[in-house]
A and B are shown apart, each in its own frame.
Chain A
Amino acid sequence: MAALSTALKWPRLPSVAAAVFQRALASTTSAAVAQSLPEHVKIVEVGPRDGLQNEKVIVPADVKIQLINLLSEAGLAVVEATSFVSPKWVPQMADQQQVMQGIQRYPNVSYPVLTPNLKGFETALKAGAREVAIFGAASEMFSERNINCSIDESLQRFEEVMKAAKDANVPVRGYVSCVLGCPYEGNVSPIKVAEMGICTVDSSVAGLGGCPYAAGASGNVATEDVVYMLNGLGIRTGVDLQKLMEAGAFICKALKRKTNSKVAQASCKL
């Protein structure tokens, strides 16, 4: 506890945040239980994939590799590294193989990659991927516009990926987008989504990745802000907030943009 608070360097509010963190850590179990909240939340860091994918500035492979390495050092257990999708669709992810092969693999850290189809899956495997993700949608229109096929067709593609993944002993994560609303269809019926006892949260360091459906708007929630909240609630994440902010500062500098994280804005000198 003491080590954590001294590890936190808050240039402007030296005592405040450390004290809050200490209090939160001291009452971890009882606080989390009393509020019926999970004791531990797994953060899935999607900055290097979902974040960068939606940033206009293309960053070179070595910057991506450095970002992922910094995130690994921050204590994250899952860092979504890249996407094995055609570079025609997502130019930012064209260096997918180079990134996959260039990153430092920390034990206890998983580096899933998006694989929209069998071809992408096979390429991912060859590049050393050990976990993959498939990306579906709860909205028919979004599916057609975003991945060029109907929900049913996408599920067929996913079946192929799943079969190959099972054969290769590779775990598969599934995404369902448009769970609350679709940029084309509007409200999405919540009956399509089940939400019980969630203890895994996806977020993007520095809140990378604007919203492609509303120019100038923000998109992904910032990992720093989520971790700050979870820390305050006494929920363990294993993430070192200070190191996370360093990773965020690094990538924002490379992207020449300001962070979208409120915690980072409040805590760091630019």
Chain B
Amino acid sequence: MGNLPASIKDCLSAGLDIEWIATGDHLSLGQQNNVSPALPEFVKIVEVGPRDGLQNEKVLVPTEVKIKFINLLSETGLTVIEATSFVSSKWVPQLADHTEVMQGIKKCPPVSYPVLTPNLHGFQAAIDAGAKEVAIFGAASESFSRRNTNCSIEESMQRFEEVIRAAKKASIPVRGYVSCAIGCPYEGTIAPTKVAEVARRMYNMGCYEISLGDTTGIGTPGDMKEMLQVVMKEIPKSALAVHCHDTYGQALANVYVALQMGINVVDCSVAGLGGCPYADGTSGNVSTEDVVYMLTGLGIHTGVELSKLMEAGHFICEALNRKTNSKVAQACYKP
């Protein structure tokens, strides 16, 4: 076995099968070894910074800054950028300029710019402003649904039916979110069967994809696996996405476990914008830069150019007068 260290020789003589895939002058574990299941070859990143990120930032950002931010993101190779939310400005003042933002951004094919539409009124306004894809936001927790969207899960489903009916007529694809997929700030742990039930209803209504969100970030990899196992009994994995929060530092590990289970759509927010509204001063969304860094290291294609992504992150952090939450940006970014 030549120059291999003794420890590797021991493993090989014990019959342990180590598969190495040579790429260039260094070896990577590739996609197959006898320890972890195959990972997807490609992962679609859904960038939620301009909506979910900004929505949870205290500093209000002017319209032209939001527009420039989204335009910078369009140049990174991202194919889905959630642009804004057509929700009442009374609830979310940060996104009061939803119409101007939607009309002001440069639409770069093949990028999609979905927007949140909580009800029919919001949907109409979104279509009038030029939206070509929308998203609806449900919850697996009754308390969270009531406190966050002012209605029960059942009532929210009725609103979604109206939106989906109108969307179908207008040939507009609809993405569904299920928040509190692991834990709820009010109810605690959420049963995976409840998550599956809500997700299934939204999927059967006509959502093309369901994003499962660990809203409080409390999930650890075992919780993520268990929840996905149950949900995947109801919904094909190709129609699922994960939306992990990094409030407890578990996001990348949770994303990795989801990849191992065959999920290949990941929501993240550039610079990790959007703190956790349920725990002051803590982080929320996982940083797109950190996710892309991990996926690239794993040999998984995303189409995203990390350096351009970091520029977009740097731009918005300056505008928000805050430091980035991305570890990769902290380590690498040099203006």
Seen from chain A, the residues whose Cβ lies within 8 Å of a Cβ on chain B are 12-13, 15-20, 23-24, 31, 35, 187-192, 194, 196, 211, 214, 216-218, 222, 225, 228-229, 231-234, 261-263, 265-267, 270
Contacts and interface: CB of A to CB of B under 8 A. Distances in A.
B170 interface: no
Interface in B283-335: 283, 327, 330-332
14 contacts: A12-B279, A13-B279, A16-B189, A24-B222, A189-B27, A191-B4, A194-B8, A218-B327, A222-B249, A232-B219, A233-B220, A262-B217, A266-B279, A266-B282
A265 B27 contact: no
B18 to A, nearest CB: 9
A13 to B, nearest CB: 6
B184 interface: yes
Contacts of B189: 16, 19-20, 23
Contacts of A191: 4-5, 8, 20, 27
A24 B188 contact: no
Contacts of B219: 20, 232
Nearest to B11: A196
Interface centre among A189, A211, A229, A232 (most CB of B within 10 A): A232
Contacts of A233: 220-222
Interface in B185-224: 185, 187-189, 216-223
B26 interface: yes
B248 interface: yes
B233 to A, nearest CB: 17
Contact of B250 (A196, A228, A265, A270): A228
Interface residues of B, number: 43
Contacts of B11: 194, 196
Contacts of B282: 262, 265-266
Contacts of B327: 217-218
B188 A229 contact: no
B279 A232 contact: no
Contact of B220 (A190, A229, A266): A229
Nearest to B8: A194
B188 A15 contact: yes
Nearest to B220: A232
A263 B279 CA distance: 11
A17 B221 CA distance: 15
B332 A12 contact: no
Given A214-B331, A214-B332, A266 B222 contact: no
B225 A266 contact: no
Contacts of A262: 217, 246-250, 282-283
